[in-house]
Structure 1
Amino acid sequence: MRTALRKAASHPAAAPLSVLAAGAAGAVHLYGTNPHEAGQWLLRCPFNWLTGLDCPTCGATRMVYDLMHGDVVAAFHDNAALLVLGVPAGLFLGWRWVREGLRGRRYRPSPGRVLTAVALTLTALWGIGRNLVG
């Protein structure tokens, strides 16, 4: 029995499917928990808690809540850069991870130095810009 569990846990699809299941469980909780209202059972951004500033992903929870309720305009207002750049990239990479895992292959994207530098630069500019503009 332990050998079968160990073999299943080491299958390339185990990690992406586990992440997908955890994300679905989180989405079920978030669907009924409005992060726009105070007093909800949601974790606060540690960066915001320590500094009072918005990190590049601040607003992501509100954005996902708004998307699940069909309010794209409010989602854009919560975090425009993450909605326009991060969501499509995350969906693509997640889809590839699950697809390759189900085919029995491990998926390890390698963006390269240029793409990594561009992504980090855009993230830093977005994080600084959103705090300067308010």
Structure 2
Amino acid sequence: MPVEPTEASIRTRTVRRASIALGVGASAAVYLWHTDPHQPGQLLIPCPFKWATGLLCPLCGGTRMAYDLMHGDVMTAFHDNAVLLVLAAPAVAYAVGRWLVAGLGGRVHRPRLPARGNAVVLGIAAVWMVARNLVS
């Protein structure tokens, strides 16, 4: 018989998970701050899709974009991956914010994307991938 979590346990779990995520993210950001992905020979994980096909995936340029944003270069970040910057960054910020507010309020937030939402995201990703590979 499953036990319902209490508000305090949900809040504690949320704070613990947010702390771990913040620590991992901060460590990655510090490493990326000192590692210019625009320069060859850096110790960064390459895109497996580009490695296997030679084509740019919808997320290619995300690491360079994050580096450029951390250094205040929004125009170069836009050039690295415009769709990821304009659409995905605000969506992820909204989802993380909803999760954090709900968790600190003692509630569980389980984000759900309906089938139509999945189709829209996959459609945008496919169109972006084709467009950026035709242009470059």
Q: Specify if TM > 0.5.
A: yes
Residue 112 of structure 2 corresponds to residue 110 of structure 1: yes
Residue 99 of structure 2 corresponds to residue 92 of structure 1: no
Q: Which runs of 5+ in 2 are unaligned?
A: 1-8
Question: Percent of counterpart pairs with the same letter?
Answer: 50
- Following the alignment from structure 2 to structure 1, what is the Cα–Cα distance between the partners of residues 56 and 65? 14
- Which stretch shifts more, 57-66 or 97-106? 97-106
Q: What's the CA shift string for 1:31-85, capped at 9, x where partnerless?
A: 1110000111111111111111111000000000000000000000000000000
Aligned length: 127
Residue identity opposite 1:46 in structure 2: P
Three-state SS of the structure 1 residue aligned to 2:29 is helix
Q: In the alignment, is the contact (CA less than 8 A) between 1:13 and 1:100 conserved in 2?
A: no
Residue identity opposite 2:65 in structure 1: M
1:14 corresponds to: 16
Q: Which runs of 5+ in 1 are unaligned?
A: 1-6
2:25 corresponds to: 23
- Following the alignment from structure 2 to structure 1, what is the Cα–Cα distance between the partners of residues 103 and 27? 21
RMSD: 1.7
2:48 corresponds to: 46
Three-state SS of the structure 2 residue aligned to 1:38 is coil
